[in-house]
Amino acid sequence: MDIWHCDALGVYSGVKDPHFDTTGHHYLRGWQRSDRNGEARFRTIYPGWYPGRSVHIHFKLRTDPDADRGQVFTSQLYFDDALTTRVHRAPPYSSKEGRRAMNADDEIYAEGGDQLMLAPGRSGDGWAARFEVALQA
């Protein structure tokens, strides 16, 4: 499983954009194989936003990365708008100017994003969320 998302100010690593160049950087990107129970765990920050998109985390699943042929599924996970508003009131998120898109305004979210919602809960000094995905072989 791979995951990647932008930083608190809406910047992705490893990208050349008209507003930034982070090629050669690999922050907020990760991958790992699932354990024998099919679980993969990642520790990261709450994503920021960039114009036109609601807050999301990209993920990609592969049935067998070493096989010549295997299944691949790529999608995105989303957050409740109220939680995002709460998180983004704090620095460094709050220093970003402009207005973020809500889930209802995001064209990709409109194609089933309501089924890909993370529901983080308090865990120690942070938050934790679990999301199950299955690929049919």
In terms of CATH, what superfamily is 2-128? Aromatic compound dioxygenase (2.60.130.10)
Question: What is the number of alpha carbons within 13 Å of residue 91 lying toward its C-beta?
Answer: 0
pLDDT > 90 fraction of the chain, expressed in percent and rounded: 82
Q: What is the mean pLDDT of residues 38-57?
A: 95
pLDDT higher for 134 or 99?
99
Kindly tell me if the per-residue pLDDT of 137 is higher than 70.
no
DSSP output for 51-118: TT--SEEEEEEES-TTSSS--EEEEEEE--HHHHHHHTTSTTGGG--S-PPPGGG-TTGGGTGGGSB-
Domain range list for the chain: 2-128
pLDDT at 106: 97
What predicted TM-score, i.e. pTM, was given to this entire model?
0.91
pLDDT at 26: 95
Question: What is the number of alpha carbons within 13 Å of residue 87 lying toward its C-beta?
Answer: 20
Residues ≥6 apart with Cβ < 8 Å to 83: 120
